Structure 1
Amino acid sequence: MEIKKFFDSVIITLFIIILSIGIFFTYESYKNEESEKIKDLKKDMNIISNRLFELVENKKYILENIDNLIRETEDIKKIIKTIYDFNKFDLKYAYFSSTKGDLYVYPKINIPKNFNPLNKDWYKLALNNKKVIISHSYETPEQKKIVFTLSKVIKKEGKVIGVVGLDLNSEKINEMLKSTVQGKYYNFYIIKKSNRELLFNNTMDKNEIKKIEIKKEFDVVKYDDNIYAYSEIIPDIYIISQFNIDILKTNVIKRMSIFVLISILIIVIFRYVYYNFLIKNVIKPILVISESMNNFSLNIKEKKVPYFSNKYKIKEINLISESYEKLIGTMIASFMNFELLTDEIKKVYNRLKNVNEMFYEIIKLITMLDNEDLMMEEYFESVLNYVINHIEEAKYGSISIIKNGKWQYIAAIGHNIEILKNLEIEMNIDLKGNRDTVNVLSFDEIFNYDKDILNKDVVDKLELATKKFKYALIYITDLEGCSLVISVETIHEKGFSKDSQEIFKAYVNLAKIFLYKKFELTKIENIYFNFAEKLASIAEGHDDITGKHIYRVGEISAFLAEKMGYDETFVEKIRKFSPLHDIGKIYVPYEILNKKGKLTDEEFEIMKKHTLHAKDLFADDRYFDMALNISLYHHENCDGSGYPYGLKCEQIPIEAAIVKIADIYDALRAKRPYKESLSHEKCVEIIIKGDNRTNPAHFHKEILEIFKNYHNELDKIWNEINNSGGENSGIKN
């Protein structure tokens, strides 16, 4: 009976699990349906708002140009009829009311005697406004059904003669909406945001309209049991769609109810049938076999295999008994063979350990792909190291690139990389070997081929730099504008195994991905740098006579950064972005920038804000982080006397401190409308010793020391850029 209780608990647990899964998936189904409904709503609303925009803009255009028609003919009724005839698919009525209240409607309708158009919104609003007015009107004088109305005041020879109105055809709008949503359960309304005036479909309660907060041009919001989507047609006019969530909830409840009923029915039938079967054909035979298994330990100890003479009705029960007999026999044999298997297990373990290490290192290489500042040489050297560590036969290796007819080595293990990097190898033909596959070539095959395509001097240097090997795995692939060549060599006579070739392929793919990513990043950086140069030209146009100031500052800043020991990436960035140091001046008034006399205190405060304006251009763009630092902080002084924040030396980004001294040096040397140029020697003296404006305490000590040591080289750089003439005429000492 214990088995029966266990089986009942399993049945109950199974039912709870099935019910929980059903509830979970039903809920997820509901959320997915709701999400899909919102997506459909967004898509439909985009189409509808565009179509309504075209419709409204078309009618606005007609009204905005109606004065031209009146100048051509004085028959206003004919104009109204012509407008309707050409737009009757979209219009319900076209009408004109004179300032005396005379109303002409086309197509003609019965107008009550007490109907006064001068009291209607479409007339009053248009009368006091030069533009086309959008409001609501009614399809009939009984005011049962609202229509979307556009109206405009009409003048003749400067005098108001009346108002023309166009009522959009609600049925046609409704047909357009239905054709777009194709049977979906939406209600649509058109409202005026400013006063929450309904322009189409007056079935929505005014309080319900007020609940919908319209903050954007387009959004989807939920209130109570409704989903509302709104989209701007034209300024102040919005289309709103409404979908009742109860429809989704009802469908979900129906599906859940059916699922629960079916689950209960299946569980009840399953329990009845399976329990009877279990008692009769499983439980009783197992009890018999169980009694025989009580002596399991004794059988193992005595190495005795039990025998079951009974044949049971169920095949599986017989298999259990037979399996038990075999189990005893197998375990006895296993104990005897255990010691023999120990050594083999150790070998398998060691092999799995090596594979695990290889996967770990591959993951490490994949992680390195995300490092945008990682140099190509460093990554390729890591790839070679891992390849040689995990390919048993591998001894040496190299990675090279063929680009623009030049063959250049990037990294090598075992070979002399210094000689290989300095080789100038011209390549006008394709390398031997199939593309995008592993080629196995001998040392002699490779160098005999090299002798056929390269000059003797290059081949001699290649042989000098290359370690002797027997065979090489070579992989050649063509990427964008170049070919990647990866080679791994062995000194073994048997060459490389198939497993080794597969491992080689795995690492080759990582090298390809890295190089491809580098090319893509280079493209992006070039786009940003080109944009930086355009911005620099804008700044130059405001405050530079010859346009050379920004380029001199760029080259001088790059020179100082290089002498400070910064890497090539940093030096290139400061060369590109230092010309943007005064980009904020595009926001400074022209008369202040070009004032020849001394600036007033108020004017100088405006001028100083050019540093803060850089944030308007560069904030939130990580590619312009250095440009932002330079533009924002290059007027800060190390003693805290600078602007805009009065930072101390350790708070100032190093790139801004470098550009500061370059900018001041060039400003002193350059001729400006408000000052004469100074000689190189006088500029150096002012920066090192100071004057009434410049103080050595303003500068970063290390940068100032490099300036002192290399100022002659800076003079050469300045003159090379400026050698075309211009600013430097008439230098004063």
Structure 2
Amino acid sequence: LPEAWEGFSSPPPPLGLEEDNPVSKSLRESLPYLIPAQGKEKALLVSPFTIKGENLGVLTLCRGASFNKDDLFFVNLILDRAGPLAENFILYESIVLNLHDALRALVKALEAKDPYTKEHSERVTTYALYLAEEMGLSQEALETLRFAGHLHDVGKVGIADAILLKPGRLTREEYEIIKQHPVIGAEIVGHIGLLQEEARIIRYHHERYDGRGYPEGLKGKDIPLLARVLAVADAYDAMTTKRPYRPSLTPETALKEILRCSGTQFDPEIVEVFREVWRKKLAGTEPMEAEDGRQESVA
């Protein structure tokens, strides 16, 4: 509540449970406290937020006039009503995490079929997070990108193995089928209520900055920012990984290709950030042998 922060230039430091103050006492003892106003000191109302006997935190209010028992009654009434809502949200979040883990396992199973794409989603996520961190994006954006990176190819579960594992270049018809995987993936992830933004990123990570990508031909800033980030990471890993129809590119050659496609396939601002990320974290990386003896690039 804004009133609770009145008079503070910045939030106070975290409090330890052993400290002798109303907030710590309330957490430690699971009891509310009313501290009357005295001189310039404002009144405090402190009440623990408890679910099934476990303290999740403390609600602290302050104001010039002292609080009374009626104030405490209404605050506790609000906290009592909020408890089941918070419990349901925590349960739902746990279900979402379990579904994410299940989908991630599915992606790993898909990748395990093909040594050329083994651990692809892990590397793409790593590169994408490098980019997002260098761009100074929020922690929330990083977590969204982490989920989307892990699951960006989950839609390939809807593509026949004969196409996915074809040891050669795809025909035009086969490529059109492959292009369906972002839409399929977005539909799968979109069924999880808390992952709507992740679903958007998955849907649009194959769009191009010049509007010639798929599935919708979005252009420029109409493509979600995190999808533009993921597109660069995905392309870099694809280029530095050996395919049946071509050898892997060296990191230096892959960087040159990313730079060449700046403003056409990729957002030029993100490409400039990638250049810096590559210099700091990816330059000089070496290919490694895949389990069947074929080379696979890793960072």
What TM-score range do you get, normalising by the shorter chain? Answer: 0.7 to 0.9
Paired position in structure 2 for 1:697:
264
- Provide structure 1 residue ranges, at least 5 long, that are not aligned to the other structure: 1-381, 386-396, 398-411, 444-466
Paired position in structure 1 for 2:145:
574
Deviation at 1:648, TM superposition (A): 2.6
Deviation at 1:541, TM superposition (A): 2.9
1:485 aligns with 2:42: no
Mapped to 2, the partners of 1:645 and 1:513 lie a distance apart of 41
Contact kept? 1:636, 1:646, Cα under 8 Å: yes
- Written as runs of structure 1 = structure 2, the 5 A alignment for 1:560-709 is 560-614=131-185, 617-618=188-189, 621-690=192-261, 696-709=263-276
Deviation at 1:590, TM superposition (A): 2.6
Mapped to 2, the partners of 1:470 and 1:646 lie a distance apart of 58
SS of the residue corresponding to residue 478 of structure 1 reads: strand
Paired position in structure 2 for 1:439:
33
Q: Deviations over 1:156-215 (max 9, x none)?
A: xxxxxxxxxxxxxxxxxxxxxxxxxxxxxxxxxxxxxxxxxxxxxxxxxxxxxxxxxxxx
Work out which of the two has the higher radius of gyration on C-alpha atoms and give 1 or 2.
Answer: 1
Mapped to 2, the partners of 1:437 and 1:558 lie a distance apart of 43
Contact kept? 1:634, 1:657, Cα under 8 Å: yes
Mapped to 2, the partners of 1:552 and 1:532 lie a distance apart of 17
Deviation at 1:699, TM superposition (A): 1.1
Mapped to 2, the partners of 1:487 and 1:713 lie a distance apart of 44
Paired position in structure 1 for 2:13:
420
Deviation at 1:688, TM superposition (A): 0.2
Contact kept? 2:107, 2:154, Cα under 8 Å: yes
How high is the sequence identity, in percent, across the aligned residues? Answer: 27
Q: Which has the higher contact order (CA 8 A, sep 6+)?
A: 2
- Written as runs of structure 1 = structure 2, the 5 A alignment for 1:330-345 is none
Give the direction of change, closer, same or farther, for the CA distance of 1:506–1:558 in structure 2 (3 Å limit).
Answer: same
Mapped to 2, the partners of 1:504 and 1:550 lie a distance apart of 47
Deviation at 1:552, TM superposition (A): 1.5
Mapped to 1, the partners of 2:199 and 2:127 lie a distance apart of 19
Contact kept? 1:472, 1:490, Cα under 8 Å: yes
Paired position in structure 2 for 1:14:
none
TM-score (norm 1): 0.34
Mapped to 2, the partners of 1:714 and 1:479 lie a distance apart of 44
SS of the residue corresponding to residue 598 of structure 1 reads: coil
Q: Deviations over 1:587-638 (max 9, x none)?
A: 3333433333333334333333333443663465544434443443322222
Mapped to 1, the partners of 2:59 and 2:17 lie a distance apart of 18
Deviation at 1:651, TM superposition (A): 4.0
Alignment-mate amino acid for residue 274 of structure 2: F
1:710 aligns with 2:277: yes
SS of the residue corresponding to residue 57 of structure 2 reads: strand
Deviation at 1:710, TM superposition (A): 2.8
Moved more, 434-443 or 638-647: 434-443
Paired position in structure 2 for 1:451:
none
Give the direction of change, closer, same or farther, for the CA distance of 1:488–1:679 in structure 2 (3 Å limit).
Answer: same
Give the direction of change, closer, same or farther, for the CA distance of 1:712–1:521 in structure 2 (3 Å limit).
Answer: farther
SS of the residue corresponding to residue 13 of structure 2 reads: helix
Contact kept? 1:442, 1:472, Cα under 8 Å: yes
SS of the residue corresponding to residue 662 of structure 1 reads: helix
Mapped to 2, the partners of 1:543 and 1:659 lie a distance apart of 22
Mapped to 2, the partners of 1:439 and 1:607 lie a distance apart of 62
- Provide structure 2 residue ranges, at least 5 long, that are not aligned to the other structure: none
Contact kept? 1:556, 1:714, Cα under 8 Å: no
TM-score (norm 2): 0.73
Mapped to 1, the partners of 2:68 and 2:194 lie a distance apart of 46
Give the direction of change, closer, same or farther, for the CA distance of 1:656–1:538 in structure 2 (3 Å limit).
Answer: farther
Mapped to 2, the partners of 1:471 and 1:624 lie a distance apart of 42
Deviation at 1:726, TM superposition (A): 4.2
Give the direction of change, closer, same or farther, for the CA distance of 1:577–1:414 in structure 2 (3 Å limit).
Answer: same
Deviation at 1:513, TM superposition (A): 6.3
Deviation at 1:650, TM superposition (A): 4.2
Mapped to 1, the partners of 2:276 and 2:195 lie a distance apart of 31
Alignment-mate amino acid for residue 485 of structure 1: V
SS of the residue corresponding to residue 632 of structure 1 reads: helix
Give the direction of change, closer, same or farther, for the CA distance of 1:710–1:505 in structure 2 (3 Å limit).
Answer: same
Deviation at 1:544, TM superposition (A): 4.5
Mapped to 2, the partners of 1:442 and 1:672 lie a distance apart of 72
Match of 1:474 among 41, 46, 60: 46
Mapped to 2, the partners of 1:601 and 1:472 lie a distance apart of 70
Deviation at 1:665, TM superposition (A): 0.7
Contact kept? 1:538, 1:583, Cα under 8 Å: no
Alignment-mate amino acid for residue 140 of structure 2: T
Contact kept? 1:584, 1:612, Cα under 8 Å: yes
- Written as runs of structure 1 = structure 2, the 5 A alignment for 1:5-24 is none
SS of the residue corresponding to residue 698 of structure 1 reads: coil
Paired position in structure 2 for 1:364:
none
Give the direction of change, closer, same or farther, for the CA distance of 1:546–1:687 in structure 2 (3 Å limit).
Answer: closer
Mapped to 2, the partners of 1:547 and 1:496 lie a distance apart of 62
Give the direction of change, closer, same or farther, for the CA distance of 1:559–1:593 in structure 2 (3 Å limit).
Answer: same
Alignment-mate amino acid for residue 560 of structure 1: L
Deviation at 1:698, TM superposition (A): 1.0
What count of residue pairs does the alignment treat as equivalent? 288
Contact kept? 1:636, 1:647, Cα under 8 Å: yes
Give the direction of change, closer, same or farther, for the CA distance of 1:655–1:496 in structure 2 (3 Å limit).
Answer: closer
Q: Deviations over 1:120-170 (max 9, x none)?
A: xxxxxxxxxxxxxxxxxxxxxxxxxxxxxxxxxxxxxxxxxxxxxxxxxxx
Contact kept? 2:153, 2:181, Cα under 8 Å: yes
